[in-house]
Structure 1
Amino acid sequence: MADSGGKVKLNELAVEAGVSLSTVSKVLNGRSDVSAQTRAKVEELLGKHGYQRRPGLPNRDTLIELVFPELETAWAMEIIRGVENVARANDLSVVLTESGDRHSPSPAWITGVLRRRPVGVVLLFADLAAEAKAALKSRAIPFVIIDPAGDPAPDVPAVGSANWSGGLVATRHLIELGHTRIAAITGRDDMMCSFARVDGYRSAMNSAGLEIDERFVRFGNFRVDGGRRIALELLTLPDRPTAIFAGSDLQALGVIEAARTLGLRVPLDLSIVGYDDLQLAQWSSPALTTVHQPLTEMAEEAARLVIRMSEGTLETIPRMDLATRLVIRDSTAAPAAG
């Protein structure tokens, strides 16, 4: 057992908790054969005394843990690919965990990760509960959030992307083609990236002196069904939009399906821009104009960061946003005359 990075010694902590040193060791290593009451008491004292295992310890596992709220194939595969690339280059393996919701993993997850003791953890969440942060810190298990979807607290290492710029360039492209009635279907209304992307849309419209019809600004769910449902509402308005900026490629595919249902041709009758640039975007019909969000590169950076943090070579909390860019394909064109 490593010595504490603070003043308290584990034997002293065991005495204060009224348990054996081996029980403290079991709690530190995520063993399941400790009662919930005893575990909570020991964890409370570890936090109270600021116990922290030193980084760079020998005999650590050879795993990077990658945690998703849900494994959706198209989007998740880009992230998995990036973490795998860095893990392979460092002779590490990747373990996938599905837990919690889009805000944070479930409380039960922390017990398992303490038992597995990975080199580090990469998470696809907006934040972590304070208790989970403290438990990981005390075991010197670094974590980084890949955060295209939220706004993590200042004490959370995170890798994100330039969502506002993405919304700006997508809308500006449609304006430059000559569209004036442009709708935006963004993501959930409890995700910062949803607001950032639609704020980029608003900025582009305002800069061009175009009026924003508030009926054209909708919050969705980043899924195909959400894009289809909202697009059917928008495209049956008497003065329907001639172009739609969808906050994800999956929503954009739903918009394309809605257009077909209504007999509208893409891009002759309706232009569509997506967001993410998943591999399926180039194989849709028509091929999708979209904003490239560097998901694989974001995952690679996150994996590199947890490795460096596990080695104790970073002194500050790392935060970075990678650039987005427009990829023009076949789903956008000038509006039809009249």
Structure 2
Amino acid sequence: MPDSPRRATLATVAASAGVSVATVSKVLNGRSDVAPATRSLVQSLLQQHAYVAPAPRRVEATGGATIEVQFDADFTAYSTEIIQGAVEAGAELGVGVVLSIRRGEDRTAAWARDLIAAGRRALIAVTSQLTSPQLAALSRARLPLVLIDPLNLPRTRVTSIGSTNFAGGLAATQHLLSLGHRRIAYVGGPATAACNQARMHGYRAAMEAAGVPVPPGYVRTGHFRYQDGVVNGAALLDLAQTPTAIFGGSDETALGVMEAARARGLRIPEELSIVGFDDTQLARMASPPLTTVRQPLREMGGVAVRTALRLAAGEKVDSHHVELATELIVRGSTATAL
């Protein structure tokens, strides 16, 4: 992380209170041999200075170290794959992996202090949008951070793990073009999400390279959720010129589109081809099985844990952003255009 506001030290607090560093340390450790008035003053100044006890600069992969994997929304099929990879890597390395859900508004000023107090040695945030003050709080606490599929790209240099989203979007659209489709729509996630933008740009690049225009209303955004797929899929299928193929920015989105098509009596893939993105269990369980872009989610979870441990051990990483390869998996939800 880059430079951030100078972190308050015990000496800073002690000087403000007019007491010794040892006295401040006693208050932090809950010792009883401090006068009530002094304790109250020191506690007030600790809060005023936003003091955060630093995490140890080096940790071993064993000995009870824990890493927190934090999501900002309820668990999904996507989340489950990330969790599986993180837990497997933690078990292999002898590191505890703690799961939590903490939405943006819950990441208050005390957030970093709470993580340190709980004994966390690193934080992995999944599909989160972190603000500059939140990043600064983690930096002051010297708590290593790894992002997986961040919704925003922080201006500060933060270590992140993702996949080749542009290449995946390109491959999905090229597959549909190869089947003779020309009216191809895209239903994605949040418009500002980095991963969504990359998938959408891959889609647009494939369409442009093939000389196929994208009609107005053929690109829709929302969240990578089933219900958004239902709503946006319905909107596309109600257009005067309906698409013959739809690329969903996630498996959940694609399944929502599939339901919207079924509600209108459309046969899949005979009358509408659908492609997803992620290759979660949902893709394999769909009827028909979903053609999708495989995102190596388990590997991403494992790489994030290993990277977080290296940062916690004071090591430097080779790259601040790692992209793992995607792969198109063709199943039964796509067919030649009529």
Pair in the same fold by TM > 0.5: yes
Residue number among 174, 197, 201 corresponding to 1:172 in the alignment? 174
Q: Is the 8 A contact 1:61 1:116 kept in 2?
A: no
Q: Which amino acid aligns with 1:184?
A: Y
Q: Which of 89, 93, 98 is equivalent to 1:86?
A: 89
Pick from 37, 61, 76 the counterpart of residue 79 of structure 2.
Answer: 76
Structure 2 distance, partners of 1:244, 1:322, is 25
Deviates more, 1:274-283 or 1:133-142: 133-142
Q: Distance in 2 between matches of 1:144 and 1:39?
A: 28
**8 Å CA contact 1:294, 1:324 repeated in 2:** yes
Count how many residue pairs are aligned between Structure 1 and Structure 2: 322
Partner of 1:4: none
Contact 1:167/1:197 (8 A) holds in 2: yes
Query: What's the CA shift for 1:222?
Result: 1.1
- Please identify, of 171-180 and 19-28, the stretch whose mean Cα deviation from structure 2 is larger: 19-28
Residues 107-135 of structure 1: CA deviation (Å, up to 9, x unaligned): 44323202012121111144534444344
Structure 1 position 80, deviation (Å): 0.8
Q: Percent identity?
A: 38
In structure 2, what is the Cα distance between the partners aligned to 1:206 and 1:306?
A: 39
Task: Give the conservation status (yes or no) of the 8 Å contact 1:170–1:273.
Answer: yes
Letter in 2 for 1:141: L
Which of 273, 295, 315 in structure 2 is aligned with 1:313? 315
Separation of aligned partners in 2, 1:230 and 1:305: 37
**Per the alignment, do residues 9 and 265 of structure 1 end up closer, same or farther by CA in structure 2, a change over 3 Å counting?**
closer
**1:138 shift after superposition:** 4.1
Q: Are the structure 2 counterparts of residues 24 and 191 from structure 1 closer, same or farther at C-alpha, using a change threshold of 3 Å?
A: farther
The answer (yes or no) to whether the contact 1:60–1:118 under 8 Å persists in 2 is no
TM-score when normalising by structure 1: 0.85
Q: Distance in 2 between matches of 1:15 and 1:226?
A: 54
Q: Deviations over 1:165-216 (max 9, x none)?
A: 1111111100000000111111112312222211111100000011110221
Q: Which amino acid in 1 is paired with 2:314?
A: G
Instruction: Describe the shift of the 1:322–1:287 C-alpha distance in structure 2 as closer, same or farther (beyond 3 A).
Output: same
Asked if 2 retains the 8 angstrom alpha-carbon contact of 1:28 and 1:114, the reply is no
Report what 2:35 is aligned to: none
Q: Deviations over 1:309-337 (max 9, x none)?
A: 1111216663211111111000000012x
Aligned-residue RMSD, C-alpha: 3.0
Query: CA, structure 1 residues 8+280, in 2 after alignment: closer, same or farther (shift >3 Å)?
Result: closer
User: Which amino acid in structure 2 is aligned with residue 179 of structure 1?
Assistant: H
Aligned to 2:277: 275
Unaligned runs of 5+ in 1: 1-6
Task: Note closer, same or farther for the CA distance 1:211–1:299 as it changes in structure 2 (3 Å cut).
Answer: same
What amino acid does structure 2 have at the position aligned with 1:241? P
